[in-house]
Structure 1
């Protein structure tokens, strides 16, 4: 990676023609993930630790993070990586109830792709559309570590790509996730995110619910993942 990257993760959308080099994206994600330990420590919910950081210079919104550790019985490194880094958006649609549709907008390379995700919520909240560049990187050296980055992108300048987006209020989020093998045989899942739902939802309402919102993804994922195994076992019997 380059010694110094000027790129930083924010919710300001990128244009497809101005995507920075992949090593700069990964370095920016690593910087955020490494800083989580210095953030404000929030509640531990269902065994998942939460953290937060107020908006700082250069940020467009505050940051929130969660950290969980998983035994091999819950999910191994390979289990998590295969579902969180491969077909990420399609898998999220299966375990995040609010995601109703995902569409691949553009496959840039084997490690970079653009997806649009369509969320619906309980009325009167309108549907939201999030379009992001997803970048994945796997370090095979032991202990293994993998990084997944999502960055908002604006595809409206390309009429054909813009047609792939659903109609809804445009929201934005950026996130950095790290899956890492630990010395005790467990696997760490660390995720940090900054976002805005767009529209007229007051910021204080969004902030108040962020910790519980991001924590829910962990049990939802594990329940969905284990349901896949039950289906497979049932078919083999």
Structure 2
């Protein structure tokens, strides 16, 4: 695969997935570029959002969410333990819309295919998202870790396709970076582009995306995650 590989919502066939090093390099470039995106609203007083308009080949606009966490709220170790390991299974515990999660296939020690079933408010029918998740940890100081999710099309592999949940197929691509900061806090930065599929008009999707990435579908809800994390030690 070329170094020009670009993260988009266009689903890849498993055989067309580039090497993990190529995916991580593209993810690193994307997440670093978010500092130049257009600033949006701030939610919960601490969750900042950013936006980048759709460019040729993107498929949809990009949105970014950034939050910083003091050690008593969430440490680097805690964030990475719950998001860099078994991320999809953990999300089901704090994102109410997620009803089912299943691992389709382990591709390598640091990448795997997952399918997630979301039950949404009526009249929107359930959505299914199937992604390849790639993780990458830099254990040198300051530590950082990335979780990259790209949409996968399993239609050419009937055995794997049978493992997908049934529902309208949505698509999203995301890059999450957890990084230690010099002030002792930990930054959780997420960039995403997506479409819920079906007959939902794109302007509705776009207008709701900025608030959604600080809340739930199809990613994490920062305050819900922190609340869930603290509940584990109670």
Question: What interval of TM-score do these two structures reach, taking the shorter chain for normalisation?
Answer: over 0.9
CA distance in 2, matches of 1:224, 1:88: 13
CA distance in 1, matches of 2:4, 2:111: 20
Deviations 1:93-138, CA, capped at 9 Å, x for gaps: 1111111000000001110000000001111100000000000000
Which contiguous aligned blocks of 4+ residues in structure 1 show a shift greater than 2 angstroms?
none
CA distance in 1, matches of 2:175, 2:165: 25
TM-score (normalised: structure 1): 0.94
Q: Which has the larger radius of gyration?
A: 1
Deviations 1:153-174, CA, capped at 9 Å, x for gaps: 0112111111111110000000
CA distance in 1, matches of 2:203, 2:56: 19
Q: Which has the higher helix share?
A: 1
CA distance in 2, matches of 1:79, 1:116: 24
Deviations 1:62-120, CA, capped at 9 Å, x for gaps: 00000000000000000000000100110011111111000000001110000000001
Q: Which residue of 1 is the match for residue 32 of structure 2?
A: 34
Q: Which residue of 1 is the match for residue 19 of structure 2?
A: 21
Q: Which residue of 2 is the match for residue 196 of structure 1?
A: 195
Q: Which residue of 2 is the match for residue 168 of structure 1?
A: 167
RMSD: 1.1
Pairing 1:60-209 to 2, within 5 Å after superposition: 60-209=59-208
Q: Which residue of 2 is the match for residue 226 of structure 1?
A: 230
SS in 2 for 1:65: strand
SS in 2 for 1:29: helix
Q: Which runs of 5+ in 2 are unaligned?
A: 216-220
Compute the displacement of 1:18 (Å).
Answer: 1.1
CA distance in 1, matches of 2:56, 2:162: 35
